[in-house]
Amino acid sequence: MGSILFWDAACQRPYDSRTRHEQALGGTEAMVSRVADALGALVVQHNRSAPSGRYLPPGRVEGVDAVVVVRDPRAIATVHALYPDARLYLWLHDQVQPWSTRGRRLVAEARALAASRATLVCVSDTQRLGIEATLRRIGPPEGVRALTIYNAVDDTLQPDATPVDPDRLLFFSSPNKGLAHALDALAAIRRRWPAMQLDIANPGYKSGRPIHQPGVNVLGALAPADLQARVRGALCTFCPNFALPETFGLVLAESLAVGTPVLAYDCGAAMEVVGDPRQVLPVPAGARGYERIARVLGPRLRPALAPMADRWGLFDACIARIGAWRAGDRPRPRLDPRFRLATVAERWRTLLTGADRPN
Residues 245 and 277 in one domain: yes
Q: How confident is the model at residue 1, as a pLDDT?
A: 47
The verdict on 29 and 54 lying in the same domain is yes
Number of domains in the chain: 2
Do 119 and 191 belong to one domain?
no
**Amino acid 203: pLDDT:** 81
Instruction: For residue 289, count CB atoms less than 10 angstroms from its CB and return exposed for 0-12, middle for 13-18, buried for 19 or more.
Output: exposed
**304 inside domain:** yes
Checking 55-63 for CB contacts under 8 A at 24+ apart, the result is: 55/14, 55/15, 55/16, 55/17, 61/3, 61/5, 63/2, 63/3
What is the mean pLDDT, run by run of 10 residues, along the chain of 359 residues? Answer: 87 93 88 97 97 95 96 96 96 91 91 94 96 85 91 95 97 93 96 98 75 93 93 97 94 97 97 97 95 92 92 96 97 96 97 71
**Do 7 and 101 lie in a common domain?**
yes
Are 65 and 4 contacting, i.e. CB atoms less than 8 angstroms apart? yes
Same domain, 220 and 138: no
Res 141: pLDDT? 80
Same domain? For 299 and 315 the reply is: yes
Enter the DSSP assignment of 240. Answer: -
CA distance 144 to 146: 7
Q: Domain containing 126: what range?
A: 3-152+341-352
Check residue 119 and give its pLDDT.
Answer: 96
pTM here is 0.93
pLDDT for res 97: 86
Q: Based on the domain organization, do 346 and 287 belong to the same domain?
A: no
In CATH, what number is assigned to the domain containing residue 19? 3.40.50.2000
Same domain flag for 348 and 330: no
- pLDDT value, residue 142: 81
Q: Are residues 172 and 185 in the same domain?
A: yes
Provide the pLDDT for residue 356: 64
Residues 347 and 332 in one domain: no
Looking at the structure, do residues 65 and 181 belong to the same domain, yes or no?
A: no
Q: Is residue 160 part of a domain?
A: no
